[in-house]
Amino acid sequence: MRRFVGPIENVTAMEWVNIIVQGVLIGGLYAMFAAGLALIFGVMRLVNIAHGDLIVLAAYIALMTTDTLGLNPLLAIIIVVPIMAAIGYGLQRALLNRTLGDDVLPPLLVTFGLSVIIQNALLEVFTADSRRLSAGAIEVASFPLVEGVWIGVLPLLQFAVAIAVIGALQLLFYRTALGRAFRATSDDQAVAQLMGLDNRHIFALAMALSLAVIAVAGVFIAVRTNFDPAIGPARLIFGFEAVIIGGLGSMWGTLVGGIVLGVSQAIGAQINPGWQLLAGHLAFLLILAVRPEGLFPKVQG
């Protein structure tokens, strides 16, 4: 992210516009973290604590794909997405379906254990060194939006992809047979099963979809920032905050949540570089205090 150094009182109006624009663009990435999380919570009331570590896993798979095949990292998406989806389907069938029930403890503890396992396995295989993927010229390409506000091509692409992913999820949820099956199991598992749906399969498909979404996010992380095995939990937290800020009413809520989080972080970083993350957390806690149902709550009915 482009960042201006200097005391806050010297920041011009144009620079503020710039800060907010950059915050909005990073918000798209957070929205993709959040969409994967909201999707599985919506379908099976599961919060996957390993969500962030799976994002990092996707980044490492992208790294391996580009290293071995010599692909452009952005093209690696077409390989990383099916791999992650397959991992998600298998994980749900083999492990997570056994944890679902009235008790909140088993899914939380199993996904927490999974998070620790993924983190330490990545550490063992790839060491703690910080890595980064090079996407070539597109990384530094940018164009002026207006005088003084530059937009990077890559951040803009990432934002556009986030909108496309969330729009596609929204369509899938409300316009397709699979989406109807998701909503049916979400509303009443027992009745959905009576109507001939195989819940275990539906849940596994939801998890596959969730990991496909975060595979896209993982590739963008790999290209845009340095990553190492330990950054997963922070990505989980960003996604979670975006979900709660946006509310559970619609997939578009996660986009708004991500943008609010991204802009808060950008403003915090401007005030003091040490406050970037803190400002995002405080925005989340503020929303939780004044509007705990989020900005776009689920309509009760």
Partner 1 sequence: MTASFHVEHATRASRIGTATFAAGLVLLVAAPAWGGRDDLRLLSEIYAYVALASLWNLLAGYAGLVSVGQQAYVGLGGYVLFASTIEAGVHPLLAVPVAGVVAAVFALPVAGLLFRLRGHYFAIGTWVVAEVFRLIASQISALGGGSGISLPAAIVTEMASSRQMREFLIYWVALALVVVVLAAIVLLLRSRYGLALTAIRDNELAARSNGVDVTRTKLVVYVLTAFGTAMVGALIFLQKLRISPDTAFSVNDWTAFVIFITVIGGIGRVEGPIIGTVVFFVLRQTLADLGSLYLLMLGAVAIAVMLLAPKGIWGFLAERFGWQLLPLERRLRFAADARTT
Footprint of partner 1 on this chain (CB under 8 A)? Answer: 41, 45-47, 49, 95, 98-99, 104-110, 112-114, 116-117, 120-121, 123-124, 233-234, 236-237, 240-241, 244, 274-275, 277-278, 281-282, 284-285, 288-289, 292
Tell me the closest approach of the beta carbon of residue 78 to partner 1, in angstroms: 31
The residue (of 75 and 282) whose beta carbon lies closer to partner 1 is 282
208, containing H or E segment: helix 199-224
The residue (of 29 and 49) whose beta carbon lies closer to partner 1 is 49
The residue (of 154 and 244) whose beta carbon lies closer to partner 1 is 244
Q: Can you read off the two tokens belonging to residue 165?
A: 């992913």
In eight-state DSSP terms, residue 299 is P
Tell me the closest approach of the beta carbon of residue 135 to partner 1, in angstroms: 30
The residue (of 69 and 94) whose beta carbon lies closer to partner 1 is 94
The residue (of 153 and 248) whose beta carbon lies closer to partner 1 is 248
**How many angstroms separate the Cα of 28 from the Cα of each of 24, 171, 217?**
7, 18, 9
Tell me the closest approach of the beta carbon of residue 56 to partner 1, in angstroms: 15
CA proximity to 49, closest of 96, 115, 93: 115
The residue (of 154 and 243) whose beta carbon lies closer to partner 1 is 243
In eight-state DSSP terms, residue 151 is E
Tell me the closest approach of the beta carbon of residue 1 to partner 1, in angstroms: 18
251, containing H or E segment: helix 251-271
Tell me the closest approach of the beta carbon of residue 95 to partner 1, in angstroms: 7
Q: Can you read off the two tokens belonging to residue 210?
A: 């969730």
Maximum alpha-carbon separation in the chain: 65
Tell me the closest approach of the beta carbon of residue 151 to partner 1, in angstroms: 29
Give residue 244's identity as a one-letter amino acid code: I
Phi-psi sector, 285: left (phi>0), alpha (psi -120 to 50), beta: alpha
The residue (of 78 and 116) whose beta carbon lies closer to partner 1 is 116
d(CA 209, CA 67): 26
d(CA 48, CA 14): 40
Helices (H), 70-198: 77-94, 105-126, 153-175, 177-187, 189-194
Tell me the closest approach of the beta carbon of residue 207 to partner 1, in angstroms: 15
